[in-house]
Amino acid sequence: MLTDNDMIKITNDSSDTAKGQFLHYHFDGNEWSQKWEEKLDLSKMAMMEQFQELETTRQQVLAGELSPVAFHAQKRLFDVKLLSAYTGIPKRHIKKHFKPEYFSQLDEKTLAKYAEIFKISIEEINNVEI
């Protein structure tokens, strides 16, 4: 039995998916009401979060805190372990290459490995545009 203090919210499973909305029924103890609420698009939220993290990394590269290798790895969804597997460069070296002072000392051969994996030219490695 419902009392005046009980609040009930029912979501209609036959939502209007074309509009990306759900119809919610709400009982506040006295009467029923209904309203449309936006459906959360989890993939869009995840992409926005990834974009924000990438922008943070880009700002760190521009501030001299990280190297462009860290930016390009994140942009292409590589972690250190995966990047090591694809390039053949030991993980501990890749971690060093994420630091600007070590990145600036990389030879052409190592830069070429990164460029190949990131599908960019060696000249484009320093470009950290999204």
**Segments making up each domain of the chain, as ranges:** 8-38, 42-126
**pLDDT tens per residue across span 10-36:** 444 444 444 566 676 777 777 777 777
Q: Is the pLDDT of residue 2 over 70?
A: no
- The domain made up of 42-126 has a fold known as 434 Repressor (Amino-terminal Domain) (1.10.260)
pLDDT tens, residue by residue, 37-67: 666 667 778 889 999 999 999 999 999 999 9
Place of tokens 């979501």: 11
C-alpha 76/C-alpha 87 separation (Å) is 14
Phi-psi region of 107 (alpha: psi -120 to 50; beta: other; left: phi over 0): beta
pTM for the complete prediction? 0.68
Other CB atoms within a 10 A radius of the CB of residue 3 amount to 6
Give the residue, 78 or 37, on which the prediction is more confident: 78
Q: State residue 4's pLDDT score.
A: 47
State the average pLDDT for the chain: 84
| pLDDT of the residue at 28 | 75
